[in-house]
A and B are shown apart, each in its own frame.
Chain A
Amino acid sequence: MPDSGRKANTVTLTIDGQEVTVPKGTSLLHAAETLGTEVPHYCYHPGLTAPAQCRICLVEVEGAPKLQPSCVTMAQDGQVVHTESPAAKRMRQGVLEFYLVNHPLDCPICDMSGECKLQDYVFDEGREKGRGREPKRVFGRDDFGGDVLYYGDRCVMCTRCVRFMDEVARDSRLTVVDRGSRAVIDTFFDRGLEGASFAGNVVDICPVGALVSKDFLHKARAWDLDHTQSVCPNCSQGCNIELHTRDNLVQRLRPRENQEVNGHWMCDYGRANYEWMNRPGRLEEPAAGRGAKRRAVDWKRVLEHLFVQLREGSGAEVKVVGSASASNEALAGLAAVGGAAGDVSSRVFRSRRAADEVPLPGFPSLVRRRDLAPNVDGAGLLGFERTGDDGGGGGLEDLAGHDGVLVVLGDELADQGEDFGAGASLYVYLGTFDSPAARNADFVLPVTTFAEEEGSFVNAQGRVQRYWQGMQAPGSARPAWLVLGALAAVLGGDGTPASAEDVFAGLVAAHPAFAGLTYDALGDQGAALQKEAAHG
């Protein structure tokens, strides 16, 4: 009897004839999930409390007099649970029919169509034909302020949105008004959701199309969107997100679960800032020559010329401008190229800083950080120093007139004039957009944005997180790590990196702060840097 002395902290139960062992305190709903059985649910959300009021997750537990709500019934040893028994199915069908008493069948014009839980469950288990004869009640729609629209007719009263605002945002702006079939979600007087910093999440957690985003309204159908795992690039928190793209354009950002970083949530600031990824007028072809002498040159020749010039000028004083929006891989490549070209006297980056942080009270590790760029910490670890003011301008006074080698990556130099880099012996500009300050560049190399390449960022918690390619790059733009990796390889004698993973492996070898990390170890949830190294 090995277990007799101590209390086991797991329980073993039977769900639909399959035995499963789960930790104590697991709900039946989660226990069923580990077997791959999804018990329908509306009011339950893993990031919120469970009021067990939607009554659709009821399952049959042998020995219990009535069906039990699986979201709040904890698994117990020896329990025998049936999620697909006739009683449970009949119950679900009945509950669904009640939901459809007043839910309009406006799926063709509903934005949630295709990702709607009511649609899914009714399609799976609902009645083929409705029996209701009475007219459905009609509320019309209500503007909640901010980015949120409320369609009262579609609401199933799960109150996830109310609980999110109460428990997670701790900013009670929503409530249930009235009772029975007249119940609606409403805001208090004229206050609305305007100015709330995390209200966009209520759209994500709404299981039906009652709460929809004004920005996304009628824009795309759920089944048309491609989903790419990524990391939010709008502040150094690095919330795990999905890019939802269609026709090579980002249509919206959605949070992706990561309990270490953002839970199930993301802030409205990050959610709203995606249009820049779709901005047209990008640099598409590499070019060489200053000012009027600039000509488009193909990648092979431009890299050869650049290599020759870097070698000729080797030993010169090198100044490098990086970017806190560039990946670790690109920044490491930039540092390597600069080092191989001569003596690097300054490595700087600029980034915008907000006036203050915006925390999410109910999930303390999620904070909209002051740094409004994703890789400020990575740039710091890789030897770049912040310069300039909080608006992301200034700080380049001693670079503008520098007479050695100047390499700029990912900074649009928006506040710099046309004479920037006029005296440089060699000026290389790697960017996504052309800029007046790139006029004197000897080489202009088009690089990709984070949405068009693979790479990794270090967030404010010292966590390294990967992101994936979700869009096609315009023209022949290449990821910065590929361009810089090829140059560094020629200058340093190593082979050209074949993938971002190779570059990351080289970066880990060169920088002790990243010790022990690989792309496999990062996975889709990231991994923390070793503490002393991260802040040392």
Chain B
Amino acid sequence: MAISVKVMRRPEAGRTSYMRATLKGMSLTFKHMVRPTKVTLEYPEEQPDLHPRWRGTHRMEVHADGRPKCVACGLCPTVCPANCIRLVGGEDDQGNRYPIVYEIDEFRCIFCGMCQEVCPVEAIHVGRHFENAEYTRDRFVYDLDRLMEQDHPTTLLWDPSDPRSE
């Protein structure tokens, strides 16, 4: 069975004017010159407005005296589906349970936010933050000091006025 071929009928050469199409295009151009609608962002001078539930790299909340809020309960390494949190608990000089080692491998992290959700003392948070560039790969394993230094806003995993989304 032969393949059917549709033959396009085109105007003969020399009998076509492109003027109309050109004017149509130019009118759009001039319209944008006079009344521009911008879709790009002048980053880094302008910063994007991240969604309240944006989940970026982590941050550890601290007490007023500079201690981490973490009590080394072990729930975040347990719940973490990517197994990216390493935690060794211990006791500080005031007898409080605290993390001797707390490391998050941000490369392994899938930013699900479950660590923040499970945390009983609201210590670990995912952040509304996306500028994570580093010169070396090993800088992406954030230790406790690094996590405590981070100062970007934290993610709002749920609306506090409507915690059950009702």
Q: Which residues of A contact B (CB under 8 A)?
A: 107-109, 113, 141, 217-219, 221, 223-224
User: Which one of B1-9, B68-76, B157-165 is at the A interface?
Assistant: B68-76
Q: Is the CB of A113 within 8 A of B73?
A: yes
Task: Tell me the B50-73 residues at the A interface (CB within 8 Å).
Answer: 71-73
A-B contact count (CB 8 A): 27
Q: A223-B78, A224-B78 are in contact. Are A108 and B71 (CB under 8 A)?
A: yes
Q: Is the CB of B97 within 8 A of A224?
A: no
Q: Is the CB of A218 within 8 A of B120?
A: no
Q: B25 near A: Cβ within 8 Å?
A: no
Q: Is the CB of B74 within 8 A of A221?
A: yes
Cα distance A108–B76 in the bound complex, in angstroms: 11
* Chain A nearest Cβ from B70, distance in angstroms: 10
- On chain B, the residues within 8 Å of A109 by CB distance are 71-73, 96-97
Q: Is the CB of B97 within 8 A of A218?
A: yes
Q: Is the CB of A224 within 8 A of B74?
A: yes
Q: Is the CB of A108 within 8 A of B90?
A: no
- Interface size of B by CB at 8 A reads 14
Task: Tell me the B90-132 residues at the A interface (CB within 8 Å).
Answer: 90-91, 95-97, 120-121
| Interchain CB contact (< 8 A) of A108 among B73, B91, B95 | B73
Cα distance A109–B120 in the bound complex, in angstroms: 10
Report the nearest B residue to A224, measured CB to CB: B74
Report the nearest A residue to B75, measured CB to CB: A108
Report the nearest A residue to B70, measured CB to CB: A108
Q: Is the CB of A218 within 8 A of B90?
A: yes
| Residue in A109, A141, A224 with the greatest tally of chain B CB atoms within 10 Å | A109
- On chain A, the residues within 8 Å of B78 by CB distance are 221, 223-224
Q: B81 near A: Cβ within 8 Å?
A: no
Cα distance A109–B72 in the bound complex, in angstroms: 7
* Chain A nearest Cβ from B37, distance in angstroms: 52
Report the nearest A residue to B97, measured CB to CB: A109
Report the nearest B residue to A218, measured CB to CB: B89
Cα distance A217–B72 in the bound complex, in angstroms: 12
Q: Give the top 8 A-B pairs by smallest Cβ distance, nearest first.
A: A108-B73, A221-B74, A218-B89, A109-B97, A108-B120, A109-B71, A108-B71, A218-B97
Q: Is the CB of B121 within 8 A of A218?
A: no
- On chain A, the residues within 8 Å of B74 by CB distance are 221, 224
Cα distance A224–B95 in the bound complex, in angstroms: 23
Cα distance A109–B90 in the bound complex, in angstroms: 10
Q: Is the CB of A218 within 8 A of B73?
A: no
